[in-house]
Amino acid sequence: MSEEELRAMRELDELSEKAGGFVFPASSDEVHYDYRKISEYCKQKKIDPQDLTIRELQQFIVSR
């Protein structure tokens, strides 16, 4: 990832944080997550989204 792309991602993260959300790394096109529910869950549990276990993350998969 170039420095310019990293800078743009940081800006997006900051804007998203101000709006009450976060940016989650891109994943497979076949799996989609409900990021708002993940954010709410993490705030409730007082953990960072990166600290979610795979089992916890699976409950937020949205069927396509």
Reply yes or no on whether the pLDDT at 19 is more than 80.
no
Burial pattern 7-18, b for ≥16 Cβ within 10 A else e, equals eeeeeeeeeeee
Reply yes or no on whether the pLDDT at 61 is more than 80.
yes
For 30-56, what is the mean pLDDT? 90
Q: Which of 2, 1, 25, 28 is nearest to 13 (CA)?
A: 25
8 Å CB contact between 23 and 12: yes
How many other C-beta atoms can be found within 10 angstroms of the C-beta atom of residue 36?
11
> What is the pTM for the complete model shown?
0.51
**pLDDT score, position 42:** 94
